Structure 1
């Protein structure tokens, strides 16, 4: 039986390896690929391409990955000093998110990916959470994940998947202020949105934390199962 094809959106960043230094590179942390593989899927990397969303016709599921901030113009706001955008990704990923929602393609949004889902669904973002919540616990230091205890909506998909586990690992300075047409189903203790979903669709889930780092088979397994249906 063929493994379901799971598209993963990618970063475009300067990268160095061997004799090559700071080349513009299409990449993604291998943790995403491994999380999909361990869950039984076949990972397919999707470079930013704003020409169309036709690639989704070949995909059985979609992971919207993490990375830099969504351009505030995409939700009708002006950029604040600490907002760091990648317009090329926005131009490609927002149409992919909207197309996935429109066609009921199973989709998992991770960190930035959850924020992309929110904006695609008509929502908006907080551009710098420390200005709102008064602390840096969601991104305590460069390259250091924060540890949070989340609360999940009873009866929600994320509550079912996480069970009694409430520990999450996060690394973000922005957050969802308005989920648009999606439902908020998870929060940190300070009220920051940690999970979004659409109970009216087969599988639409966004999480603000990084389940790929721990190769969380609950979330990636649920995506792969939905993609196999």
Structure 2
């Protein structure tokens, strides 16, 4: 995301897509105003955080993919939609260079990497869930399909 959108100067953001930022923020605003379920994945978590007034770490070392391969790490969780699905700890993948810095209004962090990086969040009042990891690439190690099934149930 463009750093100006969360009140910062660009110090390490790359691959910026202003039109995509604007479109995704507008879509999120419409869906959240209508109280429709939203699931953010990786960049989606970042969009959600910024949309609710949060900020991002522009370059987070140790979380990006290496030679095109996701990193894997354990995460811990608080009671949440994810703990119901996966228990108190789980293995996730990591392929991002940005992450939540300050949480947006109404958002609650529910999962963290060992270094304290927020790996998942939810909204306290709205049906909004978000993960920093990629469940669509986790089927071998962790059943990422569980998250999609739970989200589809939320949509019903």
Task: Return the TM-score normalized by structure 2.
Answer: 0.90
1:213 equivalent in alignment to 2:123 = no
Residue matched to 2:51: 120
Once the two structures are superposed, residues 68-101 of structure 1 have per-residue CA deviations (whole angstroms, 9 ceiling, x without a partner) of: xx11111111112453211111010011112222
Residue matched to 2:71: 146
2:112 to 180, 187, 190: 187
Other structure's SS at 2:109 match: strand
Residue matched to 1:92: 23
Take 1:214 and 1:81, find their aligned partners in 2: how far apart are those partners?
A: 28
- Higher strand residue share: 1
The within-5 A match list for 1:17-96 is 70-96=1-27
1:164 positional shift: 5.0
The 4+ residue runs of structure 1 with deviation greater than 6 A are: none
Contact 1:72 1:79 in 2 (8 A): yes
Take 2:38 and 2:65, find their aligned partners in 1: how far apart are those partners?
A: 28
When residues 123 and 81 of structure 1 are mapped into structure 2, their CA distance, relative to the original with a 3 A threshold, is: closer
Listed as ranges, the gaps of 5+ residues in structure 1 are 1-69, 131-135
| Structure label with greater radius of gyration | 1
Task: Return the TM-score normalized by structure 1.
Answer: 0.62
1:214 positional shift: 3.0
Listed as ranges, the gaps of 5+ residues in structure 2 are none
Contact 2:12 2:58 in 1 (8 A): no
Count of matched residue positions in the alignment of Structure 1 and Structure 2: 151
Residue matched to 1:176: 100
